[in-house]
């Protein structure tokens, strides 16, 4: 158990401590599937075996030693297309993946899919794409699962699940799993993304596809941009895995240790950067570089190597740093915490929930105003030891994700580190 998690263990009930300890150690997983029989199983042992099943293998695919025995290695643009003769509307797609990240990380984009489920018999069909991508701000190594559902007006309704690839390295195999309930009433449809058995994101309430909207083809390939990918042990199981309810930290890159393109903007955080490049509101007569700063720094840290330093340099000037919180369960309560070092007494955080259409659920916005006691200024403290009442919010009905805002204003400055968003135990006081 990392030392930075110990404050939580000291102030919660024994029953919750055991659950939290397991969850924080990465134990949140769905049950092992090896004992269940997949209705689709492709180990990628040879080209001949795939073609015997009427699969198509393009040039640029090699069968080399992989996770277990052989795997399919794809050069940029290469693919394998396999027919899917059976498909359950409820199940789990699972595969092992190895990716060789490009040297020019800041320019890394993968517009094509690593894996796609589609229906070739219908133009009006559901699609599921698995791809790696980065964001315009807060560049990151990210795995995305995009689900497109045709709408009656000819357009498509799409939703993307997001998973963090912060610790991925060349030459290391990762386990991807996508659990799904599709083809039913929207209230019953759900998609979950797991990486190495850890739940990353959940999307509930997707519109139902048409009768022809489920899948008859699987396409696997390299996502372009000179990226080499390997895939092994692709399986589809006709069961719906249970979610482990033990709490986990939903803040990605919570200690600011990851910055994939070395631009000073922590992965999965936006509007943090060199002076003048972040968002600074108010005081339009003040030059941007004189309004304030918000940057990743090695000058101070509560744990690890880095923290984020935010400082307003003028009265009437406010700044913010933002991260999106995925994996929230509507109706459940969550606890926020952070390590801070501030020279002023007043701190502010804000949680803004959004629905699956990206609409702000304005009436459920939660703003926290914290006043540090004099003895807690100019030294690292946990907000949980200073904020009264504790920083809690409940994810509203229909919540898809929430944005967490760290706020600073009026000549104030603060260092932030080790942020947490953890589900409270049911019935906890």
Q: Lowest-pLDDT range, 8-12, 56-60, 74-78, 171-175?
A: 8-12
Q: Is the pTM above the cut of 0.85?
A: no
Q: How far apart are CA 310 and CA 312, in angstroms?
A: 7
Q: How far is CA 403 from CA 45, 111, 237, 269, in A?
A: 44, 25, 34, 10
- Is residue 247 pLDDT above 70, yes or no? yes
Reported as a single tens digit per residue, the pLDDT across 389-401 is 789 999 999 999 9
- Is residue 365 pLDDT above 60, yes or no? yes
Reported as a single tens digit per residue, the pLDDT across 192-232 is 999 988 889 988 887 765 555 588 899 998 766 667 889 99
pLDDT averaged over the chain?
Answer: 79
Reported as a single tens digit per residue, the pLDDT across 46-67 is 999 999 989 999 999 999 988 8
Reported as a single tens digit per residue, the pLDDT across 263-283 is 777 888 887 666 556 666 766
């Amino acid at each position: 158990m990392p030392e930075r998690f110990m404050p939580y263990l000291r102030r919660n009930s024994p029953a919750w401590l055991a659950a939290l300890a397991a969850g924080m150690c990465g134990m949140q997983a769905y049950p092992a599937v090896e004992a269940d029989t997949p209705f689709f199983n492709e180990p990628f042992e040879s080209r001949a075996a795939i073609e015997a099943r009427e699969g198509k293998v393009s040039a640029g695919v090699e069968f080399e030693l992989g996770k277990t025995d052989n795997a399919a290695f794809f050069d940029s643009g290469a693919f394998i297309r396999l027919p899917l003769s059976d498909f359950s509307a409820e199940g789990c797609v699972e595969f092992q993946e190895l990716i060789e990240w490009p040297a020019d990380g800041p320019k890394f984009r993968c517009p094509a899919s690593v894996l796609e489920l589609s229906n070739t018999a219908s133009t009006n069909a559901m699609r599921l794409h698995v791809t790696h991508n980065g964001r315009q701000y807060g560049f990151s190594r990210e795995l995305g699962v995009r689900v497109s559902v045709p709408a009656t007006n000819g357009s498509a309704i799409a939703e993307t699940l997001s998973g963090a690839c912060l610790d991925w390295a060349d030459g290391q195999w990762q386990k991807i799993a996508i659990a799904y309930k599709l083809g039913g009433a929207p209230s019953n449809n759900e998609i979950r993304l797991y990486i190495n058995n850890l739940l990353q994101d959940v999307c509930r309430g997707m519109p139902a596809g048409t009768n022809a909207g489920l899948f008859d083809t699987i396409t696997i390939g390299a996502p372009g941009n000179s990226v080499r990918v390997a895939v092994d042990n692709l399986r589809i199981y006709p069961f719906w895995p249970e979610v482990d309810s033990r709490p986990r930290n939903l803040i990605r890159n919570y200690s600011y240790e990851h910055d994939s393109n070395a631009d000073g903007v922590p992965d999965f955080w936006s509007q943090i950067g060199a002076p003048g490049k972040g968002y600074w509101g108010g005081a339009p007569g003040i030059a941007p570089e004189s309004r304030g700063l918000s940057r990743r720094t090695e000058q101070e840290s509560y744990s690890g190597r880095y923290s984020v330093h935010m400082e307003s340099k003028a009265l009437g000037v406010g700044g913010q740093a933002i991260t999106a919180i995925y994996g929230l369960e509507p109706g459940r309560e969550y606890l926020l915490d952070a390590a801070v070092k501030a020279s002023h007494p007043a701190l502010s955080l804000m949680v803004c929930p959004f629905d699956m259409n990206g609409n702000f659920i304005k009436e459920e916005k939660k703003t926290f105003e914290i006043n540090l006691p004099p003895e807690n200024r100019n030294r690292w403290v946990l907000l949980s030891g200073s904020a009264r009442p504790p920083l809690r919010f409940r994810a509203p009905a229909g919540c898809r994700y929430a944005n967490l805002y760290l706020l600073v204003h009026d000549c104030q400055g603060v260092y932030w580190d080790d942020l947490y968003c953890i589900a409270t135990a049911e019935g906890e006081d």
